[in-house]
Chains A and B, each alone.
Chain A
């Protein structure tokens, strides 16, 4: 209902004032990199050439429709061929195309030149999240959708960055040529950042290259652009471009976090701590398939609530979460999560939704099982 009202108000607004166009994005955005602006320029040029040709062709048709109607007494002329015009409308379009091809080639060559980069980030697509690896910094992390599921299910108000919010954004310094190395862990994904005009497929078993450099500090949002399964619409990309100082501070912070995580993997946790942390890990990594309720989707994703594995021996449970199950969507989370996260999520699964096993899995158990 609210959408109906929105459409109605939108149409009336459009009619009333041209200012309303600013609110609704009609055209490509120029973006913040040299080649996103190049792509925008070519897009604009080709579009206006098309509009010009359209005005001529459609104008001739409309003139003919109005003036050459039988009901106005028009009598059909006898001509049915003319070599000169046939040649003209073959050659002129050819020249126009050549005119478009020159700048297109120039921008493309610049886009594909990944040499002399200042830093490299390896990006790996997963069903359905991105993994970033800062090759020189020893920083790596997963970046998951952060929009609460209640918003998707229409139980909470959607905010402005609905479906375009992640837990761990990519952070890069301004005025730096960042080379991207793209690959995938499972199916083909495509890393698309509209503001940079970077769209490159992440293909399992192969590495693609791309790059960007911008002088505009800001937060940029994009999405996966290649159908990659159920949650293809739910793996956004957020890049924060910051000053060099802020970047250094972020790097230091990330390294501290990594050290803290390493420490937490060796200590012994209480059951409550594990369950509390496990609930967060579960929501980020498991709920997409097994659902928040633990009930899964019948015949597609198995339920954990009351399942043989979650209510059976802990060793088997640890094994399947750590090593995955080949031939299914169940991934080997041992390569994605640390010992503490794994211990927490397994403990949570064994004690949630009425799976009252009462037992506790510690990081040390995971380490032993790896």
Chain B
């Protein structure tokens, strides 16, 4: 009898659905992970195109390409698409692919929910992008109040498409919450025998903590957009002072979501860097347990610092002091992580394949973003930085050369495992150098612009800001078009012509369960759980 079951199981193992149904009804963690990653990559080009419209308009003083009304729609959709459509789905895609393989599981714990989590996203972004298409066709305005959608600009004064936006955010939120539940369920229940929590790879740890953050704050975002919906259509006045509400309440609720969200967008990248750096240093990660504790501390602190986004709203001075001190504290665990990465490299045996290059750039550039973050926490100085290009420079350093570079590192790192083929190292290096140089041409001058006094979210500016804006725009176009090299390299690797076959281990210094599987990884990962010693 057991032989029969065994045989049946073997058959099932190779069964791979074909055609569109394979993707539409997929419950396979790898296929869903692939869809997440392609979705994210597509949105990177959409959001990037909007950024290039912004940078084209800001290349010179004066209005050239877009009217102020359309400019605001560009900044709004650029922010929303990059945050919710690029960084978050890319991380979920990586978690889908890698978490089961890294903990020795056959698949995610909740495969059908996994399918739904993904398929909500095209709907959500279809709706959001539809509002922009309608705007371009002359049918009213797309959301134009910034990705932070402060009331009452987004409520009393919001365009009709605000309701599209609200519904779209609800769908993204449901998708994220389900994805997070799935990752937590998988990590708690499906680890291989012997893999205790303190043996989990750091990437799994960072995603474990990120998933809890998502469950904690996505409902808060859902709450704030629902309050907006009620203010707009059902006569409530949560954010309307004339009806007894408070516009600043909006900001408190939004940033209670928004600040943990910032860490949701960086912790998985911390995890990626903690996988890549030891591999190419041929040395174990330095201070594994302090990495875990530092990540947990950052997650905890993220809940008590939200009002540092609101220092100019006129809070009591004691509140300002509390949020300043709490925010400064985040520098401690973040510093620990950076010091640990550097110590991992210290006296290692380093080689510089593309994933390692992106990881090293991440450590340099993310740290610069961290420094400006510390500067922003100092309230008296923050009054001068708030809502200027200094802030724009800060968060693009942590999100582009931080989160996005982490994702790039991950893609190069695991692509041979996914496809069974090595990517083109020369093109990878070209992509790295062009990206790293142009990202600095793009964002470094923004520090100067902000300090000199240029507010963010303006379509036109005084002549004193002309040179650095032009320079940033040049960097933006190089950075944008450089990403086509990545697209080409990925497609080439997947097609597998003229590529080198990858071994199971792929990298000389690989450690961990995912490298014990053959490359490409089989459709179902671990049918029999491996034993971790």
Mark A residues whose CB is within 8 Å of B. 2-4, 6-7, 10-11, 24-29, 35-36, 38-40, 42-43, 46-47, 50, 53-54, 57-58, 60-61, 64-65, 68-71, 74-82, 85-86, 89-90, 93-94, 97, 100-101, 104-105, 107-109, 111-112, 151-154, 158, 160-164, 182, 186-188, 190, 192, 194, 197-201, 203-206, 208-209, 222-234, 297-300, 327, 329
Q: Which residues of B contact A108 (CB under 8 A)?
A: 317, 320-321, 324, 379-380
- Tell me whether A97 and B331 are in contact (CB under 8 A): yes
Q: Which of A25, A111, A160, A162 contacts B383 (CB under 8 A)?
A: A111
**Which residues in chain B, 299-343, are within 8 Å of chain A measured between CB atoms?**
312-314, 317, 320-321, 324-325, 328-329, 331-332, 335-336, 338-339, 342-343
Closest to A205 in B: B241
- Tell me whether B285 and A80 are in contact (CB under 8 A): yes
Q: What are 16 A-B pairs with beta-carbon distances under 8 A?
A: A25-B451, A42-B378, A64-B348, A68-B350, A75-B349, A81-B286, A93-B332, A187-B156, A188-B153, A190-B386, A199-B384, A200-B312, A225-B386, A226-B312, A227-B72, A229-B157
Closest to B320 in A: A108
- Tell me whether A3 and B60 are in contact (CB under 8 A): yes
Q: Interface 1/0s, chain B 446-484, versus A by CB < 8 A?
A: 001001110111111111101110110010000000000
- Tell me whether A60 and B471 are in contact (CB under 8 A): no
Closest to B67 in A: A297
A219 to chain B, nearest CB (A): 14
- Among the stretches B36-44, B361-369, B406-414, the one at the interface with A is B361-369
Closest to B59 in A: A3
Q: Which of B59, B242, B451, B458 contacts A205 (CB under 8 A)?
A: B242
- Tell me whether A24 and B288 are in contact (CB under 8 A): no
Q: Answer yes or no: B496 CB below 8 A from chain A CBs.
A: no
A74 to chain B, nearest CB (A): 5
- Tell me whether B374 and A300 are in contact (CB under 8 A): no
Q: Answer yes or no: B269 CB below 8 A from chain A CBs.
A: no
How far does the alpha carbon of A52 sit from the alpha carbon of B331 in the complex, in Å?
15
B242 to chain A, nearest CB (A): 6
- Tell me whether A97 and B328 are in contact (CB under 8 A): yes
B192 to chain A, nearest CB (A): 22
Closest to A13 in B: B467
Closest to B289 in A: A81
B365 to chain A, nearest CB (A): 11
Closest to B313 in A: A201
Q: Answer yes or no: B25 CB below 8 A from chain A CBs.
A: no
Closest to B379 in A: A108
How far does the alpha carbon of A215 sit from the alpha carbon of B387 in the complex, in Å?
28
Mark B residues whose CB is within 8 Å of A. 59-64, 67-69, 72, 138-141, 144-146, 150, 152-153, 156-157, 240-242, 246-248, 281-290, 312-314, 317, 320-321, 324-325, 328-329, 331-332, 335-336, 338-339, 342-343, 345-352, 360, 363-364, 367-368, 371, 374-375, 378-381, 383-384, 386-388, 448, 451-453, 455-464, 466-468, 470-471, 474
A112 to chain B, nearest CB (A): 4
- Tell me whether A186 and B331 are in contact (CB under 8 A): no
Q: Which residues of A contact B284 (CB under 8 A)?
A: 80
B453 to chain A, nearest CB (A): 4
- Tell me whether A43 and B381 are in contact (CB under 8 A): yes
- Tell me whether B468 and A104 are in contact (CB under 8 A): no
Chain A residues touching B, majority SS: mixed
Q: Which residues of A contact B464 (CB under 8 A)?
A: 25
- Tell me whether B68 and A299 are in contact (CB under 8 A): no
Number of CB contacts from chain A to chain B under 8 A: 306
How far does the alpha carbon of A199 sit from the alpha carbon of B424 in the complex, in Å?
51
- Tell me whether B381 and A224 are in contact (CB under 8 A): no
How far does the alpha carbon of A80 sit from the alpha carbon of B284 in the complex, in Å?
6
Q: Which of A2, A201, A223 has the most CB of B within 10 A?
A: A201
Closest to B159 in A: A300
Q: Which residues of B contact A101 (CB under 8 A)?
A: 324-325, 328
* Contact A223 to B350, CB < 8 A, known contacts A164-B462, A197-B384: no
Closest to A327 in B: B156
* Contact A69 to B351, CB < 8 A, known contacts A35-B380, A89-B335, A329-B157: yes
How far does the alpha carbon of A64 sit from the alpha carbon of B320 in the complex, in Å?
41
- Tell me whether B288 and A81 are in contact (CB under 8 A): yes
Q: Which residues of B contact A77 (CB under 8 A)?
A: 283, 346-348
How far does the alpha carbon of A209 sit from the alpha carbon of B289 in the complex, in Å?
47
A357 to chain B, nearest CB (A): 29
- Tell me whether B314 and A27 are in contact (CB under 8 A): no
* Contact A76 to B68, CB < 8 A, known contacts A50-B371, A205-B242: no
Q: Which of B321, B328, B375, B466 contacts A50 (CB under 8 A)?
A: B375
Q: Which residues of A contact B321 (CB under 8 A)?
A: 105, 108
Q: Which residues of B contact A153 (CB under 8 A)?
A: 62-63
- Tell me whether B282 and A76 are in contact (CB under 8 A): yes
How far does the alpha carbon of A231 sit from the alpha carbon of B145 in the complex, in Å?
12
Q: Which residues of A contact B152 (CB under 8 A)?
A: 186-188, 204
- Tell me whether A94 and B342 are in contact (CB under 8 A): no
| Known contacts A70-B351, A112-B320, A231-B68; 14 further A-B pairs (Cβ under 8 A) | A7-B470, A24-B448, A46-B378, A50-B374, A61-B364, A64-B345, A64-B348, A81-B288, A89-B339, A107-B380, A152-B460, A188-B150, A200-B312, A200-B314
Closest to A39 in B: B380
- Tell me whether A93 and B331 are in contact (CB under 8 A): yes
Q: Which of B139, B360, B368, B375 contacts A46 (CB under 8 A)?
A: B375
Q: Which of A4, A64, A85, A194 contacts B453 (CB under 8 A)?
A: A194
- Tell me whether A201 and B468 are in contact (CB under 8 A): no
- Tell me whether A226 and B379 are in contact (CB under 8 A): no
Q: Which residues of B contact A109 (CB under 8 A)?
A: 317
